[in-house]
Amino acid sequence: MKVGILGSGGREHALCIALNRSKKVSKIYCFPGNAGTKSIAENIEINLNNFKEIKDFILESQIDIVIVGPEKPLVEGIVDYLEKYNIKVFGPNELCSKLEGSKTFTKNLCKEYNIPTADFGIFINSKDALSFLENCNLPVVIKADGLAAGKGVYICNDKADYSVAVKDIFEGKFGKAEKILIEEFLVGEEMSFFVICDGKNFKKFGTAQDHKRVGEGDKGKNTGGMGAYSPSKLDNEILNKKILDQIIKPTLKGLKDLNTSFKGFLYAGLMIVKGEPFLIEYNVRMGDPECQTILPRLKSDFAEIIEACINENLIGTNIEWFNDKSLCIVLCSKGYPEDYRKNLEIFNIKNIDLTENQFIFHAGTIEKKNKIFSNGGRVLNFVVKSKDFKSCRNQAVKLIEKIDWKEGFYRRDIGFKVIK
């Protein structure tokens, strides 16, 4: 079977490697991919905004299944578009993708289906938002409604903070803002919970914890993710059942009541407050870098699972996992998440020997004349699977030290909550 993967990050390289392990997969195309995917797949230089060009290429090359990695094309309806041409796509349609694309859509669904989430209000102008805020308990969380690539969320401790947040959002800092969300600040432990859905049934697809802040000790600016580990330390049968019964199932029921159904990965960002799960946000795709820690733990054939989803037969498919832990450290370009340089050559990366439990997933890289250059803020992901998190992290750091790249930096404390 020929598979196409849309995207160019570490998540997509991890998807690529997982698919490449399957006997079922004869060829992989990445749109546009990176230097890592290039070594096992054919990278196709296409702009992900150009749905028509993507469709034409898929049809001409007779690609059997397409997997969409990032949220933007999903929210913009690429699945509906490709399905019109009878292309088999793994990913949610435009309506279901509103779970990520519109925070107010999700909040309203939570309200209607009694899904536990932070108390909230939705406002369409700054005057009403500000007068509501006058009487709120602080801290309070303020969010822009649409996609904001991990930005657009403000934790506000005083009036000065919330005034800036309201102003930034309504002035369009995160794109045109028609609505603003104000919510209660929840105190607890975060957890990323994944399910895979075929439109009829779903199965759990692992848990993880990511580190969003740029600095050690979880300090500094928010980023796309500086590292992650799987499973989450909160992963247990009792909590999992609550998450499925109180959050996942009512969400899928809500979508069904809208005459649609979810196909793809659904990622619930949760806050666990005194043992009870609250939904913070949904993403309609795998997490990046969570995906890079989850897929190496998968024992079953990944291509078979995806194919089963496309054929609405997930129920007949067994998903087995290794008991090992796994941890990812992201190597970034100095300056990220603010200004950073691109096109910096990375030396020695091709000479590193990896065991079967060690992975270097490329994120922002590009290959030119057999040399590897940085091409983004998050550049390489070092993932190790092992019996314990400490050994994962020690090994990952040793791998990073073998790379000769003075322009990079990383967090040495990934997993500090699970490593003494």
33 makes contact, choosing from ligand AMP, ligand GLY, none, with CB < 5 to 8 Å by partner type, with none
Q: What is the DSSP string of 395-414?
A: HHHHHHHHSB-TTEE--TTT
Does the protein bind ligand AMP through residue 189 (CB under 6 A)? no
> Two tokens at 373?
């250059």
Cβ proximity to ligand AMP: between 288 and 307 the closer is 288
CB of 137 to ligand AMP, least distance (A): 12
Does the protein bind ligand AMP through residue 281 (CB under 6 A)? yes
- Maximum Cα–Cα distance across the chain: 61
CB of 417 to ligand GLY, least distance (A): 16
Give, as ranges, the residues between 256 and 275 that touch ligand AMP (CB under 6 A).
269, 271
Does the protein bind ligand AMP through residue 118 (CB under 6 A)? yes
Q: What is the DSSP string of 302-370?
A: HHHHHHHHHTT-GGG----B-S-EEEEEEEEETTTTSS-----EEBSGGG----TTEEEEESSEEEETT
- How many Å separate Cα 27 from the centre of its chain? 25
118 makes contact, choosing from ligand GLY, ligand AMP, none, with CB < 5 to 8 Å by partner type, with ligand AMP
185 makes contact, choosing from ligand GLY, ligand AMP, none, with CB < 5 to 8 Å by partner type, with ligand AMP
Out of 66, 208, 247, 280, point to the residue binding ligand AMP (CB under 6 A).
280
Distance CA 313, CA 315 (A): 5
Stretch that binds ligand AMP, among 165-173, 184-192, 313-321, 353-361 (CB under 6 A): 184-192
Encode 112-156 in three state secondary structure. HCCCCECCEEEECCHHHHHHHHHCCCCCEEEEECCCCCCCCEEEE
**DSSP-derived pairing of the beta strands 120-123 and 180-184:** antiparallel
Stretch that binds ligand AMP, among 46-54, 70-78, 185-193, 337-345 (CB under 6 A): 185-193
Does the protein bind ligand AMP through residue 115 (CB under 6 A)? no
Does the protein bind ligand AMP through residue 153 (CB under 6 A)? yes
Q: How many other C-beta atoms can be found within 10 angstroms of the C-beta atom of residue 272?
A: 19
CB of 141 to ligand AMP, least distance (A): 4
CB of 194 to ligand GLY, least distance (A): 11
Does the protein bind ligand AMP through residue 183 (CB under 6 A)? yes
Distance CA 195, CA 184 (A): 26
Q: Which of 147, 164, 146 is nearest to 155 (CA)?
A: 164
Cβ proximity to ligand AMP: between 153 and 169 the closer is 153
287 makes contact, choosing from ligand AMP, ligand GLY, none, with CB < 5 to 8 Å by partner type, with ligand GLY
Distance CA 45, CA 48 (A): 9
Distance CA 391, CA 406 (A): 25
# residues near ligand AMP by CB under 6 A: 13
Does the protein bind ligand AMP through residue 226 (CB under 6 A)? no
Cβ proximity to ligand GLY: between 129 and 191 the closer is 191
280 makes contact, choosing from ligand AMP, ligand GLY, none, with CB < 5 to 8 Å by partner type, with ligand AMP
Contacts of residue 43, defined as CB under 8 A and 6 or more positions apart, other chains included, come to 29, 30, 32, 33, 34, 37
Stretch that binds ligand AMP, among 63-71, 167-175, 183-191, 371-379 (CB under 6 A): 183-191
- How many Å separate Cα 216 from the centre of its chain? 21
Bridge partners, 120 (sequence order) = 183
Cβ proximity to ligand AMP: between 11 and 38 the closer is 11
290 makes contact, choosing from ligand GLY, ligand AMP, none, with CB < 5 to 8 Å by partner type, with ligand GLY
> Two tokens at 54?
């993507």
Does the protein bind ligand AMP through residue 220 (CB under 6 A)? no
**DSSP-derived pairing of the beta strands 325-333 and 378-386:** antiparallel
DSSP-based three-state secondary structure for 207: strand
> Two tokens at 170?
């309504």
Stretch that binds ligand AMP, among 38-46, 128-136, 181-189, 349-357 (CB under 6 A): 181-189
Count the residues in the chain: 420
Binding site for ligand GLY (CB under 6 A): 210, 225, 283, 287-288, 290
210 makes contact, choosing from ligand AMP, ligand GLY, none, with CB < 5 to 8 Å by partner type, with ligand GLY
Does the protein bind ligand AMP through residue 208 (CB under 6 A)? no
153 makes contact, choosing from ligand GLY, ligand AMP, none, with CB < 5 to 8 Å by partner type, with ligand AMP
- Contact indicator for 85, 53 with CB cutoff of 8 Å: no
Distance CA 390, CA 298 (A): 20
Chain residues that interact with ligand AMP, rule: CB under 6 A: 118, 141, 153, 183-186, 190, 212, 269, 271, 280-281
